[in-house]
């Protein structure tokens, strides 16, 4: 979750006082008056710039404040306003599992299950262990795709739970550590061969292999051109255009694969059903933003 701490404000301090010493002579007096005019003009310019900067700092809203504001809008039932605030944070380049999760909740409360499922999926990529997110994602799917409910396989559910234990980022760190430690131990082993180093190398080799395969599968799945149908009237046609015959309708919230794109249309595939066809590009949105 984005931190709720307010961003620090820069304190402006006045410059050091300069004492002008007097001296005799008319030339010095004229020069002193001229310098006073320059100092006054410079003071006015600096004051104007500081006032403008203070106004910008007062009007500017940091990401923490905007996130808290969106949360308050959600709690007050202003789901459309909350959606706009969360989307504004995304447009600023901010990404977090909590942000996608809250946005998904706001979309679901606003009666838009497709965008809700989309953002739950994005949150799952960043934090696959979040139980609240997984529950809401499953609930949104079941309430939207009621006709597609299936009997769960205990073995597959267990494997899926293990698969979701770590995110891509966490696996990247684990694999990198195992790999570099393995290289370091092998280098040391050439100069000092012992049973302890042999055991350590074997353990690190197994850990690097497991984490590497796990990381590779995760990375492959994340980089798949998966998308979610975000509109209710997603008709699929035989070609990229309205002149082609309609084939079938994909329900909102359904996960599809984007196979290719052409002039505002995209070819989507349904892996389980073995179907594919063309629909307007604005009817689907990729999970990987």
| Co-location of 78 and 133 in the same domain | yes
pLDDT band at residue 280 under the 50/70/90 scheme: very high
Q: Residue 267's beta-bridge partner residues?
A: 260, 278
* Number of structural domains in the chain: 3
Which domain does 195 fall in, by range?
A: 168-222
Q: Give the CA radius of gyration of the chain.
A: 30
| Co-location of 191 and 211 in the same domain | yes
What is the token pair recorded at 51? Answer: 């006032």
pLDDT band at residue 143 under the 50/70/90 scheme: confident
Q: Is 57 inside a domain boundary? A: no
Q: For the domain that residue 120 is a member of, what is the CATH number?
A: 1.25.40.10
DSSP states along 30-47: HHHHHHHHHHHHHHHHHH
What is the token pair recorded at 241? Answer: 């255009």
Q: Is 4 inside a domain boundary? A: no
What is the token pair recorded at 34? Answer: 């001229």
Query: Rounded CA gap, 75 and 107, in Å?
Result: 13
pLDDT at site 149: 53
Question: Has residue 57 got a pLDDT over 70?
Answer: no
pLDDT at site 49: 53
| Co-location of 98 and 118 in the same domain | yes
- The arithmetic mean of pLDDT across residues 16-37, rounded, is 41
Pairing of strands 265-270, 226-229: unpaired
Q: Percentage of residues in the chain with pLDDT exceeding 90?
A: 29
Q: For the domain that residue 235 is a member of, what is the CATH number?
A: 2.30.30.40
pLDDT band at residue 38 under the 50/70/90 scheme: low
Q: Is 44 inside a domain boundary? A: no
Q: Is 33 inside a domain boundary? A: no
- The arithmetic mean of pLDDT across residues 192-205, rounded, is 86
- Identify which of 160, 117, 165, 114 has the alpha carbon closest to the alpha carbon of residue 138: 117
Q: Is 207 inside a domain boundary? A: yes
Q: Is 72 inside a domain boundary? A: yes
Q: Is 183 inside a domain boundary? A: yes
Please name the residues in contact with 284: beta carbons below 8 A apart, sequence gap of 6 or more: 227, 228, 229, 230, 234, 256, 258, 266, 268
- The arithmetic mean of pLDDT across residues 226-240, rounded, is 88
pLDDT at site 36: 54
Backbone angles phi, psi at 235, to 5 degrees: -85, 140
User: For 105-128, how does the pLDDT look when each residue is reduced to its tens digit (9 = 90+)?
Assistant: 999 999 999 999 999 999 999 888
Q: Is 89 inside a domain boundary? A: yes
| pTM passes above 0.85 | no
| Co-location of 187 and 237 in the same domain | no
Question: Has residue 154 got a pLDDT over 90?
Answer: no
| Co-location of 93 and 134 in the same domain | yes
- Identify which of 86, 87, 90 has the alpha carbon closest to the alpha carbon of residue 71: 86
What is the token pair recorded at 247? Answer: 């084939």
Q: Residue 281's beta-bridge partner residues?
A: none
Query: Which region among 6-10, 130-134, 187-191, 235-239 has the lowest average model confidence (pLDDT)?
Result: 6-10
| Co-location of 187 and 251 in the same domain | no
């Amino acid at each position: 979750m984005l931190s709720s701490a307010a961003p620090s404000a820069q304190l402006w301090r006045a410059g050091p006082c300069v004492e002008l010493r007097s001296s005799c002579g008319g030339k010095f007096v004229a020069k002193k008056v001229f310098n006073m005019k320059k100092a006054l003009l410079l003071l006015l310019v600096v004051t104007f710039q500081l006032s403008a900067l203070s106004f910008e700092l007062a009007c500017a809203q940091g990401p923490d404040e905007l996130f808290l504001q969106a949360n308050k809008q959600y709690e007050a039932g202003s789901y459309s306003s909350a959606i706009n605030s969360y989307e504004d944070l995304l447009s600023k380049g901010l990404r977090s599992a909590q942000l996608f999760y809250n946005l998904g909740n706001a979309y679901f409360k606003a009666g838009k299950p497709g965008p809700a499922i989309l953002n739950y999926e994005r949150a799952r990529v960043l934090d696959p262990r979040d139980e609240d997110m997984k529950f809401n994602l499953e609930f949104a799917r079941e309430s939207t795709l009621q006709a597609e409910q299936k009997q769960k396989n205990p073995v597959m559910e267990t494997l899926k739970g293990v698969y979701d234990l770590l995110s891509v980022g966490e696996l990247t760190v684990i694999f990198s550590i195992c790999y570099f430690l393995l290289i370091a131990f092998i280098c040391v082993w050439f100069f000092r061969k012992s049973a302890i180093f042999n055991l350590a190398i074997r353990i690190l080799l197994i850990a690097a292999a497991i984490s590497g395969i796990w990381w590779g599968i995760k990375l492959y799945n994340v980089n798949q051109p998966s998308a979610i149908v975000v509109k209710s009237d997603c008709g699929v046609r035989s070609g990229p255009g309205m002149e082609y015959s309609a084939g079938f309708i994909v329900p909102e919230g359904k996960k599809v694969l984007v196979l290719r794109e052409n002039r505002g249309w995209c070819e989507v595939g349904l892996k389980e059903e073995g179907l594919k066809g063309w629909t307007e590009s604005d009817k689907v949105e990729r999970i990987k933003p």
